[in-house]
């Protein structure tokens, strides 16, 4: 018996159902059964294992077989006659990052400053900001006080603008000193509380003069102490004595004081200029000129400042 060509290629369950027949009573048609679902091959609409790592496994597949490529390889090897499955080394646990280098989450301070993600960089930024804040408080307070007392000097205004920068640099300097001296340098940064360092940096910026003086005292113990009169630039021209107090024309007179290395001219009471001899920060030797009169000796420095010595008597 020959088959119909239209149905020869279809499986038995895919053969179309017979046409609807009338019920025996004659009025109501018989209920038509839905056709069975056609079988779907594995490659027609499903994802094989490994195509999408983020896709959830299908309900009919095992989670282990769909997520583990090793399991799939084992099944393939077992279905091949005579094949020996090579042992697959299971991957070891991923190495956790060191607490010293583990990055922080990105953060923005005050909506202006973008903090670094590295622990050391973030801590250095925080102490710099704390030092700048302390110095800013000092500058604003000083500016308000001197302005209110009508004693503000315009030449000091650059200090107010430079104070936050100085405070930020002092904050980082104090952090490095304390971190190297009081805390082990090998201690992870993640284990250090930033509040203590930020407090010291802020106070260092607020009292920068006192902080620098304290550092000077500490390091003068470690290093050589600088003499008080080694820098003549910041010294005031003063005269404490002149010896001898009387002398004849042509005799040397030794004047002592401070800032004497800047003296450019020495005049006696008669207005006659004296010849300058040996000169240092604290000592000046002048020669009594002809025509000198009894009275104080007036000294002039390169900046135009002048000071008088005690009275000097010219012997006749």
Q: Report d(CA 208, CA 160) in Å as an integer.
A: 12
The CATH 2.60.40.10 domain(s) of the chain lie at 232-314
The model carries a pTM of 0.42
CA–CA distance, 249 with 308 (Å, rounded to integer): 19
pLDDT-based confidence at residue 44 (cuts at 50, 70, 90): very low
Greater confidence, 287 or 10?
287
∠ Cα 161 166 171 (to 5°): 140
Residue 14 has pLDDT above 90, yes or no: no
Could you please state the CATH topology (level 3) that the domain comprising 232-314 is classified under.
Immunoglobulin-like (2.60.40)
The pair of structure tokens assigned to 189 is: 């940064």
Say whether pLDDT at 64 is over 80: no
Measured distance CA(232)–CA(250) in Å, rounded: 29
Look at strands 246-247 and 252-258 and give their pairing.
unpaired
**Percent above pLDDT 70 for the chain:** 62
Structural Rg of the chain based on CA atoms: 48
CA distance 186 to 96: 18
Q: Which of 100-109, 132-141, 148-157, 281-290 has the lowest mean pLDDT?
A: 100-109
How are beta strands 113-115 and 283-287 bridged, if at all?
unpaired
pLDDT of residue 140: 94
pLDDT at 184: 59
CB 175 within 8 A of CB 201: yes
Check residue 176 and give its pLDDT.
87
**15 vs 220: which has the higher pLDDT:** 220
Cβ-contact 204, 132 below 8 angstroms: no
Any idea how long the chain is?
316
User: Do residues 43 and 62 lie in contact, with contact meaning Cβ atoms separated by under 8 Å?
Assistant: no
Tokens matching residue 135 = 């110095």
């Amino acid at each position: 018996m020959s088959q119909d060509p239209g149905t020869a290629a279809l499986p038995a369950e895919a053969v179309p159902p017979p046409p609807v027949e009338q019920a025996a009573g004659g009025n109501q048609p018989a209920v038509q059964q839905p056709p069975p679902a056609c079988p779907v091959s594995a490659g027609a609409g499903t994802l094989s294992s490994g195509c999408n790592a983020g896709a959830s496994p299908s309900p009919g597949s095992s989670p282990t077989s769909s997520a583990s490529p090793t399991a799939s390889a084992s099944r393939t090897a077992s279905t091949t006659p005579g094949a020996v499955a090579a042992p697959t080394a299971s991957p070891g646990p991923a190495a956790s990052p060191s607490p010293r280098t583990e990055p922080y989450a990105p953060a923005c301070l005050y909506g202006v400053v973008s903090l670094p993600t590295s622990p050391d960089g973030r801590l250095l930024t925080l102490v710099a900001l704390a030092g700048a804040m302390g110095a800013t408080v000092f500058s604003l307070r000083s500016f308000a006080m001197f302005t209110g007392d009508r004693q503000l000097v315009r030449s000091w205004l650059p200090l107010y603008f430079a104070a936050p920068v100085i405070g930020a640099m002092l904050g980082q300097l104090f952090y490095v000193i304390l971190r190297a001296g009081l805390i082990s340098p090998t201690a992870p940064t993640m284990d250090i509380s930033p509040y203590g360092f930020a407090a010291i940096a802020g106070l260092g910026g607020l009292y920068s003069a006192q902080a620098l003086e304290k550092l000077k005292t500490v390091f003068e113990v470690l290093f050589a102490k600088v003499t008080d009169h080694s820098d003549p630039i910041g010294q005031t021209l003063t005269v404490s004595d002149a010896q001898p107090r009387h002398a004849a024309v042509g005799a040397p007179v030794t004047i002592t004081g401070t800032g004497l290395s800047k003296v450019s001219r020495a005049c006696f009471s008669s207005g006659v200029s004296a010849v300058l001899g040996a000169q240092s920060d604290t000592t000046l030797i002048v020669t009594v000129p002809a025509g000198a009169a009894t009275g104080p000796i007036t000294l002039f420095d390169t900046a135009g400042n002048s000071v008088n010595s005690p009275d000097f008597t010219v012997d006749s």
